[in-house]
């Protein structure tokens, strides 16, 4: 049984279809990477999974539980299991780093403040930011903010993590530190669906790589196969472009 | 006209003093009622205008019309409209109550608009992040949107409220004996215009100055939250000062 199962999903902005009967499944503990050109609908897919954008058709299940995006309770239940990290970090500007990590477990999940604080500090030291706990996001570099955002997502103790181009807004020398945090998560067996343009990283960390184009998955295969012997013309063209970068 | 010493003596004794004091209290009551109602209901109106629930659509339309209309007609007209509408409805309210209602309507419209601009200044991704973390609408409002709007809301809100204190003088047009009207009455009773208007000025100043101070203090508090002082930061970090909006540009009235 897949951990995250997406079936024939559609979504459109106005009359323009953005997701067009997309199907994809992620097994428990697997890392699946989405690659594809800009505007192919990768972010939209993650937004639909998180209940930020309404799908127009199809279904999504988490484990055995189908998510009903018309029902607030069902979306809440889904968000308890899935966390997302955005390209632009989206840390709360008005809260310190520690507060950003603690606010959801204490306020939303109503867990014990002292215990959450310990966990938050552990998460922050894992990403090397223990000494920045009382600093505000505006005072951190992009890479540091992104690692805080990962800690904030993990503080929810999610089963599945979605990562949307989390290194795209970073200066090249800061990319490594963020990817290291993701590698560690992959080793720990976190189920992940990630969007990335860091091809070397995708190749190294993924169990499956899915090529997306015009709101569909055109090809999905283990990284070695997809990168060395792409079957579809669209994937071949994409790989050629990437290889030149 | 009486000699100044006699005027002064009479002014601060017995009836005249109570008369002025009561007038000042009327002004204060109108201002406090207007501002508190405006802040509370204005906040609610601004929140409702943001909701996307379908069955609230008619209410949202009414609120948009209310806010846009109220901000475009002179206070005086609102005052008389309130009077005539309430009279047409057959209510038997005192002029003071009618002025009170009008003042609340005006402040609500203006402050709702100020809150709306503040909410619009919060980047949508901040709200998206809160949603994916399962924040309830009220939690989004109180832990994300309001704290991030203060720096946009406070300057125009306090500038509105400070000028609103003096605008309550228009209630005199309904015969409500507030500060300005009381001054006029005393002058017709033979007091020196200089003396009375000087005094009236002082009282207006005394009413609004603490409000200005409170506003300045709150602005400072909210800026500090985003902009902690250098000594509060561990060594080695460079403070990046978020660009603060120019208050003059934010005062959209
Ligand atoms: N809020 C929106 N309103 C209208 N169109 C949108 C919106 N967001 C994205 N789109 C369109 O949807 C398509 C897919 O966008 P996106 O999912 O962000 O692509 P990707 O993340 O793969 O670059 C694009 O053509 C984009 O212009
Ligand atoms: Mg994208």
In order along its 253 residues, chain B shows pLDDT tens digits of 678 888 888 778 778 888 989 999 999 999 999 999 999 999 999 999 999 888 999 999 999 999 999 999 999 999 999 999 999 999 989 999 999 999 999 999 999 999 999 999 999 999 999 999 999 999 999 999 999 999 999 999 999 999 999 999 999 999 899 999 999 999 998 888 998 999 999 999 999 999 999 999 999 888 776 655 433 444 334 444 444 444 444 444 3
Task: Give A44 Cα–ligand 1 centroid separation in angstroms.
Answer: 6
User: Ligand 1 pocket test: which of A37, A38, A39, A166 has the largest number of ligand atoms within 8 Å of its C-beta?
Assistant: A39
Mapped onto helix, strand or coil, the DSSP state of residue A218 is: strand
Q: Quickly tell me which residue has 């018309």 as its tokens.
A: A70
Distance between alpha carbon B118 and the CA centroid of its chain, in Å?
15
Q: What interface predicted TM-score (ipTM) does this complex get?
A: 0.93
Rounded Cα distance between B162 and B155, Å, is 11
State the count of interchain CB pairs (< 8 A) between A and B. Answer: 77
Predicted confidence (pLDDT) per residue in A37-79, tens digit: 999 999 999 999 999 999 999 999 999 999 999 999 999 999 9
How close is the nearest chain B Cα to the Cα of A1, in Å? 25
Nearest by CB: A90 against B129, B135, B242: B129
Q: What is the pLDDT of residues B47-73, one digit of tens each?
A: 999 998 889 999 999 999 999 999 999
- φ and ψ at residue A93, rounded to 5 degrees: -65, -25
DSSP alpha helices (H): ranges in B51-145? 57-70, 75-88, 95-120, 124-132, 137-139
At residue A244 the predicted structure's pLDDT band, cuts being 50, 70 and 90, is low
Cβ of A104 under 8 Å from any chain B Cβ?
A: yes
Nearest CA distance, B131 vs chain A (angstrom): 8
**B135, A107: Cβ pair inside 8 Å?**
yes
Q: How many degrees, rounded to 5, is the angle at CA B186 between CA B180 and CA B191?
A: 120
Question: How many angstroms does the Cα of residue A182 sit away from the middle of ligand 2?
Answer: 18
- What is the edge-to-edge ordering of all strands in the sheet holding A160-164? A82-85, A160-164, A191-195, A31-36, A208-213, A216-221
Residues with CB under 5 A from ligand 2 (ion): A 43
Contact B132 A88 (CB under 8 A): no
Residue A164 has pLDDT above 60, yes or no: yes
> Residue B124: what are its φ and ψ, rounded to 5°?
-55, -40
pTM score: 0.87
Q: Are B2 and B10 in contact (CB under 8 A)?
A: yes
User: If phi over 0 gives left and psi between -120 and 50 gives alpha, with beta otherwise, what is residue A201?
Assistant: alpha
The CATH number given to A4-241 is 3.40.50.300
- Cβ <8 Å between A108 and B238: no
Task: Determine how many CB atoms are found less than 10 A away from the CB of residue B77.
Answer: 11
**Domains of chain B (ranges, CATH numbers):** 24-224 (1.10.3720.10)
Cβ atoms within 10 Å, residue B234? 11
pLDDT at B181: 93
pLDDT at B102: 96
Task: Give chain A's mean pLDDT.
Answer: 94
What are the φ and ψ backbone dihedral angles of B194, each rounded to 5 degrees?
-60, -50
Find where tokens 């792409």 sit: A230
Ordered by start, the domain boundaries in chain A are 4-241
The closest residue, in CA terms, to atom 26 on ligand 1 is A39
Question: What is the atom index within ligand 1 of the atom nearest the CA of A40?
Answer: 22
Residue A195 CA, closest ligand 1 atom number: 21
- Give the pLDDT confidence score for residue A170 in this predicted structure: 87
A135 → chain B, closest CA residue:
B233
Separation of alpha carbons B70 and A34, rounded Å: 52
d(CA B167, nearest CA chain A) in Å: 35
- Chain A residues in contact with B126 by the CB 8 A cut-off are 90, 92-93
Place of tokens 């609120």: B63
Specify the DSSP class assigned to residue A3. Answer: S
B14-50 vs B179-188: helix crossing angle, rounded to 10 = 150
Q: What is the pLDDT of residue B241?
A: 42
- What is the Cα–Cα distance from A213 to B148, expressed in whole angstroms? 38
Average pLDDT of the residues in A165-191:
90
Q: Is A208 in the pocket of ligand 1 (CB under 6 A)?
A: no
Q: What is residue B226's predicted lDDT score, i.e. its pLDDT?
A: 63
A118 to chain B, any CB pair closer than 8 A? The answer is no
């Amino acid at each position: 049984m897949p951990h995250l199962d997406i079936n024939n999903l559609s979504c459109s902005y106005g009359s323009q279809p953005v997701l067009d009967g997309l199907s994809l499944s992620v097994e428990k503990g697997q890392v699946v990477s989405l690659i594809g050109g800009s505007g192919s609908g990768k972010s939209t897919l993650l937004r639909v999974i998180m209940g930020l954008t309404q799908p127009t058709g199809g279904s999504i299940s988490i484990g055995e539980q189908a998510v009903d995006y018309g029902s607030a309770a069902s979306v809440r239940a889904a968000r308890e299991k899935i966390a997302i990290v955005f390209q632009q970090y989206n840390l709360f500007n008005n809260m310190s780093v520690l507060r950003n990590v603690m606010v959801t477990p204490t306020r939303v999940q109503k867990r014990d403040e002292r215990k959450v604080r310990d966990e938050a500090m552990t998460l922050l030291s894992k990403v090397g930011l223990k000494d920045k706990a009382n600093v505000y996001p505006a005072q951190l570099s992009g890479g540091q903010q992104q690692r805080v955002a990962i800690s904030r997502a993990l503080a929810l103790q999610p089963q599945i993590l979605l990562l949307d181009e989390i290194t795209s807004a970073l200066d090249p020398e800061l990319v490594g530190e963020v990817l290291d945090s993701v590698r560690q998560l992959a080793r720990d067996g976190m189920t992940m669906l990630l969007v990335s343009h860091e091809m070397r990283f995708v190749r190294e960390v993924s169990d499956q790589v899915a090529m997306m184009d015009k709101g569909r998955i055109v090809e999905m295969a283990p990284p070695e196969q997809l990168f060395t012997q792409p079957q579809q013309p669209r994937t071949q063209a994409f790989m050629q472009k990437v290889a030149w970068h | 006209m009486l000699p100044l010493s006699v005027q002064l003596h009479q002014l601060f004794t017995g009836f005249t003093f109570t008369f002025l004091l009561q007038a000042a209290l009327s002004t204060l009551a109108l201002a406090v009622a207007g501002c508190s109602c405006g802040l509370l209901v204005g906040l609610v109106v601004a929140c409702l205008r943001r909701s996307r629930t379908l069955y609230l659509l008619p209410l949202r339309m009414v609120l948009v019309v209310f806010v846009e209309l109220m901000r475009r007609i002179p206070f005086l007209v609102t005052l008389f409209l309130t009077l005539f509408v309430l009279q047409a409805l057959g209510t038997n309210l005192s002029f003071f109550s009618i002025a009170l209602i009008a003042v609340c309507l005006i402040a609500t419209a203006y402050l709702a608009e100020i809150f709306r601009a503040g909410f619009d200044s919060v980047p949508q991704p901040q709200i998206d992040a809160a949603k994916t973390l399962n924040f309830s609408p009220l939690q989004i409002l109180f832990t994300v949107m309001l704290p991030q709007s203060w720096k946009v809301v406070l300057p125009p809100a306090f500038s509105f409220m400070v000028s609103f204190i003096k605008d309550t003088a228009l209630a005199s047009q309904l015969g409500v004996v507030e500060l300005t009207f009381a001054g006029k009455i005393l002058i017709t009773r033979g007091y020196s215009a200089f003396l009375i208007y000087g005094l009236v000025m002082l009282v207006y100043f005394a009413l609004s100055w603490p409000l200005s101070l409170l506003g300045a203090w709150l602005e400072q508090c909210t800026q500090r939250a985003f902009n902690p002082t250098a000594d509060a930061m561990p060594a080695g970090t460079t403070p990046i000062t978020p660009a603060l909006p120019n208050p003059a540009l934010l005062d959209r009235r």
